[in-house]
Amino acid sequence: MTIQKTRDQNRLTLALYGRLDTITTPHLEAELKTLDAQICEVVLDLAELCYLSSWGLRAIASLKKKLAGHGKLVICHVQKPVMDVFDITGFSDVLSIV
């Protein structure tokens, strides 16, 4: 998995490419640990993410919790296989997916 970061003032967009699984989730978590306190919106662009495991779900849930109270998480361009995981696990009910 690769991550492309784009910052626009207080918004950070992370475009994820490949698979978010047991092997690659630590890479995403390392990126998330470096979030600037001024970031009030994180956008996960999943247009090129083809697979999402439970480890990836855990990282997304942790990010949502980290932003609670001072920011928001938006997920966009979700492909069907990943959306199926969000739907089956109930994450689609608690995430802002556009």
Q: Which residues, given as ranges, of the chain have pLDDT below 50?
A: none
Range of the domain at 57: 2-97
Read off the pTM.
0.93
- Mapped onto helix, strand or coil, the DSSP state of residue 85 is helix
Report how many domains make up the chain.
1
Question: What are the residues whose beta carbons fall under 8 Å from the beta carbon of 4, sequence distance 6 or more?
Answer: 14, 15, 17
Q: What is the CATH number of the domain that holds 67?
A: 3.30.750.24
Cα–Cα distance, 82 to 16 (Å, whole number): 12
- Rg of the chain, C-alpha, whole Å: 12
**Helix crossing, 54-67 with 25-33: angle to 10°?**
10
